[in-house]
Structure 1
Amino acid sequence: MASIGIDFGTTNSVVAQFAANALSVLSIDEPPAQWAGLGFDRVLPTVFGRGDDDRPIFGWAAKQRPGSLAAVKRLLRAEERADVDGVEFVVEEIATLIFGHLKRASAHQGVAFDQAVVTIPANSRGLARYRTKLAAGMAGIQVQALINEPTAAAMAYSMRSAHEETLMVVDWGGGTLDVTILKNIDGVFMEQSSKGIQQLGGLDFDTALSRIVMDTVSDPSKWNGSDRTGFRLDIEKAKIQLSTAEQVSVPLPGGEYRQVTRAMFEDAVRPQIERVREPILQCLQDIGAQASDIDAVVLVGGTCQVPAIRQFVSELLGRGPATGIDPMTAVAEGAAVASAILSGELDDRDFFVSTEHALGTIILDPTSGLAFSELIPRNHKLPARVTDTFIPASDFQEQVNVQVIEGDPSKSLDDDDNVILKSWTLDFPDPQPLGEITLDLTYSYDIDGILHVTAEDSLGNVLLSDDVSYGQGVEKRDLPKIANRVARTLDSDRIETSVDRAASALSAAEQRIVTEVKTKVIPFIEDAEAAELRSLISSAEAGDESAIPSLQSAVRKYSYLL
C-alpha cells in the first residue's frame, strides 16, 4: 500500500503518495480550463457546498457556486457551527466530509488508503490540531502523525537535495504564515525554531486586491449571489496572474472591466508583506543564528509565488529561494515522505517535530499572584513527556483546579496569545497539612497532536488521567453519529484490516486496548454497537485468542474516539 500525505489547506488541499521509491501527486479534482494552467491541476479547493439535490459538493463544483463555504480550516480554531447556503452544519462534520471526499477521490484514481500523515500549520493551536485529527479519523483515515507544514515542505525539498544543511522554510498559504528553521543531518530532520502568524495569507491578499477594484464600482449592492461569487474568483485569478504579468483586466458583473497593475497590488499588500520580517528574525534569534547561517531558503504555499514576497525574503536573508519544488504540492509530498518513514518504507530518513507554543498550567505565586508555570517549552522536540511537582496553597486543601494553558509564559495571562485548553477540578482523597502532600502533573505530547495529562498526589492517588480534547466544538457523544452520517453521505465503506495476535493471554498492551475501548468508545456509541464490543471483550478476557484482533478490527471505525 502506498504511503499517503494529505495537505489539508485553507484554500486548497492536496493528496500525495510515496510508492516504489517515488513521489507523485494525485489529480483529485478537475479545474476549469483557465485555472489548470495556473497550477491548480493537482489540487482540490477546500470548499464545501450543497448541490441542487441537496447533496454535498466539493472543490471546484462548490467554489463556483454561491453560498458555499471556503476556508473551512480557519473555522477549526474556534467556531462550532457554520452556515452553508442557509443550512447550519457542525464544523467537524464539514471537515470530515472534506476528508472523506479526499479519500474517495483518491480511490477513484486507483489509490485506496486508510491511513495518512496529515499536515497542520506550525503555529496551529491545540484545538485546531485536535479537531483536524478528529475529522480525518471520522472520515476513516487513521492519522499516523500530524506534522508541521514547513517540516513537510523541507522533507519534500530534501528528496531532490540530500545535502546536510540548515533550512529556513517560509510557508505562506491561503490562511496562515509559518517560518521554521530545520537541520537536515544525514536525512534526519530536526525543527530548531518555528514562529508564525495565524490568519494571514492569500485570502487577505485577495481582500486587498478586491478593495482596489471595488473602490471604482458605483453600486455593488445590485450584484446578486452569482455576481459576487464570480467576482471573487476573478479577483483570485487576477492576483495569481499578476505574479507573471505587469497588469491584468478584472471583469465586473455587467460586462465592464478594471485594469489593475502589479505595482498597485504590491502597494496595497505592502503592510502584509512586511509582517514576514518578524517571524523570520524571531526564528534566527531563537537559535542564535545569522541570515548567513541559513544554507537554503524554501518558499512554499501559493502566496509565496507573489514576486514582491520572494524579493522581500531574498533581500532580508541575502539569498534567493531554492528551486526544484512545486510550492503548491510540496507540503503534501513531504507528508507522504513522513508516512513512508513511519511505515518503514523509507528507513534511511527520520524527522523530529517541535512545539510552536509553550504548554503549562496556572499556579498561585505567593509574590505575584496567578502565573503561567511552563512544563513543555516552545520549540521542545516531540514526543515530549514532562513532570513537574506542585504543592497545595493551604492546609488540608480538599480540591485543586488544574488548568492546561498554551501560549507564551513571558506574556500576561490575559494576553490573546495565552489560551486555556482545558481545566479539571480534582479532589484530594486524603487532605494533608501544608507541606505534607504534593501533586505531580505530567504532560505527554506525541506526534499525533494530542496532549495527555495525568495528576498523582504524593500518597499514590491518581487524581487525573485524560486527553486534552480542548473542551470546544462538538460533544464527544455526538461523534459516532456524525461519522456514520458522513459515511452514508459519501457512500464509502471503511477499509478494515486485521491485526495479528501476539499472545494467547491478555498482555499489558492488550489489557490497555480493552480499557481504552471500555472508557473511550463504549460510552459514546449506540447500544447495539456497544453490545458487540462488550461481547468481544468478554471473549478476550475468557481466553479466546481471536477476540483481541476482532476487537481491534471492530473498533477501527471509532479510532477518532481513542
Structure 2
Amino acid sequence: MAGIGIDFGTTNSVVSQFAGGRTDVLAIDEPPASWATLGFDRVLPTVFGRGNADEPIFGWAAKQRPGSLAAVKRLLRAEEVADVDGVEYVVEEIATMIFGHLKRASAGQGVAFDQAVVTIPANSRGIARHRTKLAAGMAGVQVKALINEPTAAAMAYSMNAAAEETLMVVDWGGGTLDVTVLRNIEGVFMEQASKGIQQLGGLDFDTALSRLVLDTVADASHWSAGDRAGFRLDIERAKIMLSQVEQVSIPIPGGEYRQVTRVMFEKAVRQQIERVREPIEQCLSDLGFQNSDIDALVLVGGTCKVPAVRNFVSELLDRGPAAGVDPMTAVAEGAAVASAILSGDLDDRDFFVSTEHALGTVSLDPSSGLVFSQLIPRNHKLPARVTETFFPVVDHQEAVMVKVMEGDPAKPLDDQDNVVLKEWEISLPEPQPMGEISLDLTYSYDVDGILHVGAEDSLGNELLNDVVSFGASVDRRKLAAIAKRSADALDSGKLAEPEPRAASSLDPAVQKNVSELQSKVMPFIDDAEAAEVRAAIDRAKESGHDAGDTLGGFARKYSYLL
C-alpha cells in the first residue's frame, strides 16, 4: 500500500504518495491554463463554496466564484463558524468536506486511501492541531501522525541529499511562517529547534499588494461581489508573476489597468519580509549556533518563491537555498515519506518531532501570584510524558481548576503568546488539611499532535482523564452528525441546511457584517487591525446595535476581501 501524505495548506492543498521507492504528487484539480504554467497544476486551492444548485464546490471551481471561503486553515485556530455565500457553517464541517474531497479526488486519480500522514504548521496551537485531525477523521481519513511541515519538507529534500547534515527549513506558505532546524543522521530526522509566526504568509502579501493598487482607485466600495472576486485573483496572479518578470499590468473592475513593478511590490511587503529575521535568529540562539553550523538551507512554501524573500533569507544565513526542492509540493512529498516510514515500507529512515510551544498549567506562587508552571518545555522531543505534583492552597479544599496553558512561561501569564487551550474544574473527593494531600498532573503528548491530560490525587483517586480538545465550537456529541452531513453532501452533490444556531440578538444586517468580518476579513489582516475589528464585534454583541455603524465602516474598508 502506498504511503499517503496530505499537505492541508492555507491557500493550497496537496496529496502525494510514496510507492516504488519514489514520491508522486497527484493531480487532484484542474487549474485555468494561465495558472497551470505558474506551478499550480498539482495543487488544489483550499477553498470551499456553494454552487448554483447548492452543491459543494472546491478548489478552482470555488476560488473563481464570489462568496466562497478561503483560508479555512486560519479559521481552525479560533473561529467557530464561517460565512459561505451568506450561509453560516461550523468550521469543522467545512474542513471535513475539504478532506473528503481530497480523498475522493485522489481516488479519481486511481489512488484510494483511508489513512495518511497530515502536516501542520510547526507553530500551530494545540486546538488547531486537534481540529485538523478531527476533520480528517470525520472525512474517513485515519491520521497516522500529524507532523510539522518543515520536518516533512526536510524529509523530501533529504531523499537525495547527504547522509548527515544540519538543515534549516524556512517554510513560508500562504498563511504561516515556520523556521525549523533539524538534524539528519543517516535518514533519521530530529527536530532541534523551531520558531514561527502564526499569521504571516502569501495572503498577507496579497493584502499589501491590494492596498498598493487600491490607493490609486477612487472608490472600490461600489464593486460587485464578482468584481471583488476577480480582483483578488488578479492580485494573487500578479504577485506570482512578479517573481518572474519586472512589471505586471493588473486589471481594475471597470476596464482600467494599473502597472506595478517588482520594486514597488517589494517595498510594499518589505516589513513582512523582515519579520523572518526573528524566528531564524531565535532558532540559532536556542541552539547556540552560528550560520556556519547550518549545512543546508531549504526554502519551501509559495512565499519562498518571491525573489526578495529568497535573497533576504540567503543574506541572513550567508548561503543560498538548496536546489531540487519544489516549494509548492515538498511538504506533501515529505508527508508521504513519513507515511511510508510509519507503515514499514521505508525501513531505513525515521523521524522525531518536538514541541514549538511550552505546555503547562496555572498555579499559585506564594511570592508572585498566578504563574505559568511549565510541564513540557519548548523544543522537547515527542512523544513526551511528564508528571508534576501540585498542592491545594487552602485547608480542606474541595475543588481545583486545571488550566492547560500553551505558550512561553518566560512571559507574563496574560501575554498574547500564552493561551488557555482547555480548563476543567475538578472536585477533590476527600478534602484534607494543607500539606496532607497532593495532586499529580500528567501531560502525555504523542506524534499525533494530541495532548492527553490526567490528574490523580495522592489518595489514589483519578480526578481527570481527557484530551485537548474537541474543537472550539463542537462537542463530541455532534461529531457523528457533522461527519454524516459532510459525507451526504459529497455523495449527493447537495449541501444540507446547516444546523440551526441560537438566534442572534443583533439586527440581521449587523449580524451579516459580524459573520463576514470574522471569516473573511480578520484572517487576512494584521493582528493590530484584527484586534480593532474584534473589539467592535464584542461591543456590538454587548450593546445589540450601537456598534453597527462601526462594523459597517470596517466592512466598507475591507470590502475588497468580502
TM-score of the aligned structures, taking structure 2 as reference length: 0.87
State the alpha-carbon separation in 2 of the partners of residues 241 and 400 from structure 1: 57
2:103 corresponds to which residue?
Answer: 103
State the alpha-carbon separation in 1 of the partners of residues 472 and 238 from structure 2: 38
2:404 corresponds to which residue?
Answer: 404
1:451 corresponds to which residue?
Answer: 451
State the alpha-carbon separation in 1 of the partners of residues 423 and 120 from structure 2: 25
List per-residue Cα deviations over 1:208-230 (Å, max 9, x = no partner): 11111111112222321111111
Which protein is bigger by CA-based radius of gyration?
Answer: 1
Give the secondary structure class of the aligned counterpart of 2:195. Answer: strand
1:313 corresponds to which residue?
Answer: 313
2:518 corresponds to which residue?
Answer: none
The structural deviation recorded for 1:472 is 1.9
List per-residue Cα deviations over 1:330-375 (Å, max 9, x = no partner): 0000000000000000111000000010000110101100011000
Give the secondary structure class of the aligned counterpart of 2:430. Answer: coil
2:219 corresponds to which residue?
Answer: 219
The structural deviation recorded for 1:475 is 2.1
2:292 corresponds to which residue?
Answer: 292
State the alpha-carbon separation in 2 of the partners of residues 162 and 285 from structure 1: 25
TM-score of the aligned structures, taking structure 1 as reference length: 0.87
Letter in 1 for 2:60: W
Once structures 1 and 2 are overlaid, which stretch shifts more, 386-395 or 290-299? 386-395
Letter in 2 for 1:427: S
Letter in 1 for 2:186: D
Letter in 1 for 2:311: Q
1:80 corresponds to which residue?
Answer: 80
1:276 corresponds to which residue?
Answer: 276
Higher relative contact order (CA 8 A, sep 6+): 2
State how 1:43-62 maps to structure 2 within 5 Å.
43-62=43-62
Once structures 1 and 2 are overlaid, which stretch shifts more, 223-232 or 335-344? 223-232
State the alpha-carbon separation in 2 of the partners of residues 327 and 432 from structure 1: 59
1:6 corresponds to which residue?
Answer: 6
Tell me if the contact between 1:273 and 1:309 (Cα under 8 Å) persists in the aligned partners.
yes
List per-residue Cα deviations over 1:441-475 (Å, max 9, x = no partner): 10000011111111111111111111121662212
The structural deviation recorded for 1:231 is 0.8
Do structure 1's residue 258 and structure 2's residue 261 form an aligned pair? no
Tell me if the contact between 2:29 and 2:41 (Cα under 8 Å) persists in the aligned partners.
yes
State the alpha-carbon separation in 1 of the partners of residues 41 and 472 from structure 2: 36
Give the secondary structure class of the aligned counterpart of 2:406. Answer: strand
State the alpha-carbon separation in 1 of the partners of residues 443 and 20 from structure 2: 39
The structural deviation recorded for 1:424 is 1.3
Letter in 2 for 1:445: Y
Tell me if the contact between 1:422 and 1:471 (Cα under 8 Å) persists in the aligned partners.
no
1:32 corresponds to which residue?
Answer: 32
Do structure 1's residue 422 and structure 2's residue 422 form an aligned pair? yes
Moved over 4 A (4+): none
Give the secondary structure class of the aligned counterpart of 2:269. Answer: helix
Letter in 1 for 2:187: G
The structural deviation recorded for 1:255 is 2.0
State the alpha-carbon separation in 2 of the partners of residues 235 and 432 from structure 1: 65
List per-residue Cα deviations over 1:302-324 (Å, max 9, x = no partner): 00000001000010000000010
Tell me if the contact between 1:16 and 1:26 (Cα under 8 Å) persists in the aligned partners.
yes
2:235 corresponds to which residue?
Answer: 235
State the alpha-carbon separation in 2 of the partners of residues 14 and 384 from structure 1: 29
1:535 corresponds to which residue?
Answer: none
List per-residue Cα deviations over 1:227-286 (Å, max 9, x = no partner): 111111011000000001010111112222111000000001000000000000000000
Give the secondary structure class of the aligned counterpart of 1:240. Answer: helix
2:15 corresponds to which residue?
Answer: 15
2:529 corresponds to which residue?
Answer: none
Give the secondary structure class of the aligned counterpart of 1:216. Answer: coil
Provide the alpha-carbon RMSD of the alignment: 0.9
Once structures 1 and 2 are overlaid, which stretch shifts more, 191-200 or 421-430? 421-430
Give the secondary structure class of the aligned counterpart of 2:429. Answer: coil
Tell me if the contact between 1:162 and 1:187 (Cα under 8 Å) persists in the aligned partners.
no
2:333 corresponds to which residue?
Answer: 333
Letter in 2 for 1:129: R
Tell me if the contact between 1:422 and 1:470 (Cα under 8 Å) persists in the aligned partners.
no
Q: Relative to 1, partners in 2 of residues 1:471 and 1:155: Cα closer, same or farther, differing over 3 Å?
A: closer
State how 1:413-562 maps to structure 2 within 5 Å.
413-469=413-469, 472-491=472-491
Once structures 1 and 2 are overlaid, which stretch shifts more, 29-38 or 447-456? 447-456
The structural deviation recorded for 1:11 is 0.2
State the alpha-carbon separation in 1 of the partners of residues 464 and 252 from structure 2: 60
Once structures 1 and 2 are overlaid, which stretch shifts more, 481-490 or 89-98? 481-490
State how 1:143-292 maps to structure 2 within 5 Å.
143-292=143-292
The structural deviation recorded for 1:394 is 1.6
State the alpha-carbon separation in 2 of the partners of residues 127 and 342 from structure 1: 24
State the alpha-carbon separation in 1 of the partners of residues 403 and 188 from structure 2: 35
State how 1:131-146 maps to structure 2 within 5 Å.
131-146=131-146
State the alpha-carbon separation in 1 of the partners of residues 254 and 34 from structure 2: 20
Tell me if the contact between 2:131 and 2:470 (Cα under 8 Å) persists in the aligned partners.
no
Q: How many equivalent pairs are there?
A: 492
Tell me if the contact between 1:299 and 1:327 (Cα under 8 Å) persists in the aligned partners.
yes
Tell me if the contact between 1:119 and 1:332 (Cα under 8 Å) persists in the aligned partners.
yes
State the alpha-carbon separation in 2 of the partners of residues 143 and 162 from structure 1: 30
Do structure 1's residue 118 and structure 2's residue 92 form an aligned pair? no
Tell me if the contact between 2:470 and 2:476 (Cα under 8 Å) persists in the aligned partners.
no
Give the secondary structure class of the aligned counterpart of 2:353. Answer: strand
State the alpha-carbon separation in 1 of the partners of residues 138 and 476 from structure 2: 12
State the alpha-carbon separation in 2 of the partners of residues 8 and 327 from structure 1: 14
Do structure 1's residue 370 and structure 2's residue 351 form an aligned pair? no
**Structure 1 runs not aligned, ≥5 long:** 493-562
Letter in 1 for 2:44: L
Identity of matched residues, % = 79
State the alpha-carbon separation in 2 of the partners of residues 399 and 221 from structure 1: 55
State the alpha-carbon separation in 1 of the partners of residues 222 and 423 from structure 2: 50
Give the secondary structure class of the aligned counterpart of 1:346. Answer: coil
Letter in 2 for 1:444: S
State the alpha-carbon separation in 1 of the partners of residues 378 and 461 from structure 2: 30
Tell me if the contact between 2:166 and 2:184 (Cα under 8 Å) persists in the aligned partners.
yes
1:356 corresponds to which residue?
Answer: 356
Give the secondary structure class of the aligned counterpart of 1:24. Answer: strand
The structural deviation recorded for 1:22 is 1.0
